[in-house]
Amino acid sequence: MSLYQTQKLKVYNSLTGEKEVFEPLSEGHVGMYVCGPTVYSNVHLGNCRTFMSFDMIFRYLKHLGYKVRYVRNITDAGHLENDAEDGEDKIAKKARLEQLEPMEVVQQYTLDFHSILQKFNFLPPSIEPTATGHIIEQIEIIKNILEKGYAYEINGSVYFDVEKFNETHEYGKLSGRKLEDMIANTRELAAQDEKKNPQDFALWKKAEAQHIMRWPSPWGDGFPGWHLECTAMSTKYLGETFDIHGGGMDLKFPHHECEIAQAEACNGHAPVKYWLHANMLTLNGKKMAKSTGNNILPNEMFSGENNILSKPYTPSVVRFFMMQAHYTSILDLSDEALSASEKGFQKLMDAIDSMEKLTTSSSSSFNVEEWKQKGYDAMNDDFNTPMLTANLFEAVKRINLIKEGKETITQKDKELFIETMHSFAFDILGLENQNSAMLNSDKLNSVVGLLIQLRNEARANKDFSTSDKIRDQLAAMGIQLNDGKDGTTFSLS
């Protein structure tokens, strides 16, 4: 029996605006697609928040026992400046400015992305496809949409015909926009604009002579549209209909709206059962964004080198700070909030470390099973990590009361309590206990340093029984003292 059979998960579906019982299309299996980064610059902390929200969701689905195929792409072509229909490709522009091959830009920032995610203890997705690796699939989809009559070719570019699509489908249903309003609110088409209507979006763009990223196609040399790549990669790896599509809230329109239109035009049915959108990380009350410069890089967080920070924060503290907010709520970054999270995180890790040593009794004065279920109830309620965190702090309170002799716990309950705390904090929230890492470094160095000093003093006083005792007992703990001409050092055996 898998956990998902007893824990009834509900998710907030942006498409319906309702919290719905999560029932995957195929029992026990989940297909999840999340729009990945456009690799033309270093990921900022805002990007990391969205990916972290889906890492937590991935972790929880796996924890429930689902077999999850998690696809998160790398956008390495087709994403134009300002997410608009014209302008330069973000990667091609960076390559031009830095006099690099576009694929050098892609490689540099993909490596940065991976290294940051690793520091934050992300689980790798099951598949990480690139847009440039799926040009053939994208061309096939365009041919299909052209055949169905929902697109038109003009001067070597192909555009999606939004008005035509809207005659028989509903363009705007995800973002809650109406095509008539969009038409009323948009500018007239500029004279040089080749689209029939401003709402139409590019499936394929003709590459002008100077455009360095180009591929041959039935419509001439060009490059694919940004929205199309996600349709191509999600369909290829998860099928025409899959369970979860995620991304940041800012991608709802136009990106995800266009993905729905493309897939419906192509296959005649909706591509996704549950649309999940993660909310934004703000700084000074404004969205963190590359383009405005209102952002902070993860490495600045870890080194403390940014003037909004009073000190460095470890990846796990930043992760804990993010997990203390619900993924659908806006979260504002500040030094005070991070500092409060750091204190909470330390308290939590200290409590977890001390659990093994809790004295047990013949009965438990509180119901561990009930506390555990409260944690699951929080997560089952659309991944409510702030509620789960509150539940962890309730546990910290209990741990301290047991230590003070005001609460009791049986051996069996203690084992369950420890196991559940570990599942919640480490498996689901993805935190890492930096206490243990510290114990292997700073604290260990100072403690052994002190013992070496006491041993030297004992030897100077010819108190060899004490000096030998220190050496032998450390050796028994696996800490080997090595006497050399420059003094005593130690190694772990």
47 binds, among Zn ion, ligand AMP, none (CB under 5 to 8 A by kind): ligand AMP
Residue 230 contacts which entry, Zn ion, ligand AMP, none (Cβ below 5-8 A, type-dependent): Zn ion
For ligand AMP, the closer of residues 199 and 295 by Cβ is 295
Which entry of ligand AMP, Zn ion, none binds 50, CB below 5 to 8 A by partner kind? Answer: ligand AMP
- Helical segments of 239-384, H only: 257-267, 298-303, 315-323, 335-354, 368-380
Residue 289 binding partner per list Zn ion, ligand AMP, none, with a CB distance cut-off of 5 to 8 Å that depends on partner kind:
ligand AMP
Q: Which residues does 468 contact at the CB level (< 8 Å), separation at least 6?
A: none
**Residue 248 binding result from Zn ion, ligand AMP, none, given CB thresholds of 5 to 8 Å by partner type:** ligand AMP
Minimum distance of ligand AMP from residue 16's CB (angstroms): 21
Q: In what order do the strands lie in the sheet with 222-224?
A: 151-154, 157-160, 201-206, 222-224
- Within 10 A of 169 (CB to CB), how many other CB atoms are there? 17
Q: For ligand AMP, give the closer residue by CB, 231 or 433.
A: 231
Q: Give the span between the Cα atoms of 74 and 56, in whole angstroms.
A: 19
Q: Closer CB to Zn ion, residue 230 or residue 238?
A: 230
Q: How many residues would you count in the chain? A: 493
Nearer Cβ to ligand AMP, position 4 or 122?
A: 122
Is residue 108 within 8 Å of 43, Cβ to Cβ?
no
Chain center to CA of 84:
25
Is 35 annotated to bind ligand?
yes
Residue pair 256/275 in contact (Cβ under 8 Å)? The answer is yes
> Minimum distance from CB of 325 to Zn ion (Å)?
24
Is residue 228 left, alpha or beta, with left meaning phi > 0 and alpha meaning psi from -120 to 50?
alpha
Q: Is 290 annotated as a binding residue?
A: yes
Least distance from C-beta 215 to Zn ion, angstroms?
A: 19
**What are the residues whose beta carbons fall under 8 Å from the beta carbon of 414, sequence distance 6 or more?**
355, 358, 360
Q: Which does 352 bind (CB under 5 to 8 A by kind): Zn ion, ligand AMP, none?
A: none
Q: Nearest approach, Cβ of 108 to ligand AMP (angstroms)? A: 14
Tell whether residue 230 is among the known ligand binding residues. yes
Distance in Å from the first CA to the final CA of the chain: 42
Binding site annotation covers 266? Answer: no
Relative orientation angle of helices 226-238 and 135-148, to the nearest 10 degrees: 100
DSSP 3-state assignment of 296?
coil
Residues that bind ligand AMP (CB under 6 A): 35, 37-38, 46-47, 49-50, 75, 247-248, 250-251, 280-281, 287-289
255 known ligand binder = yes
At 240, list the tokens.
């025409």
Residue 177 binds which of ligand AMP, Zn ion, none (CB < 5-8 A, kind-dependent): none
- The smaller minimum CB distance to Zn ion, of residues 127 and 337, is found at 127
- The nearer residue to ligand AMP, 35 or 358, going by C-beta atoms, is 35
State the binding partner of 432 from Zn ion, ligand AMP, none, CB within 5 to 8 A by kind.
none
Nearest residue (CB) to Zn ion, 250 versus 415 = 250
Q: Which of residues 272 and 280 has its CB atom nearest to ligand AMP in the complex?
A: 280
Least distance from C-beta 35 to ligand AMP, angstroms?
5
CA-CA distances (angstroms) from residue 319 to 60, 114, 180, 391?
16, 16, 42, 17
Going by C-alpha positions, the residue among 116, 129, 41 that lies closest to residue 81 is 41
Site for Zn ion, rule CB under 5 A: 35, 230
Shortest Å distance, C-beta 77 to ligand AMP: 13
Distance between CA atoms of residues 453 and 141, nearest Å: 73
Q: Which residues does the annotation place in the binding site for Zn(2+)?
A: 35, 230, 255, 259
Q: Which residues does the annotation place in the binding site for ATP?
A: 290
Q: Which residues does the annotation place in the binding site?
A: 35, 230, 255, 259, 290
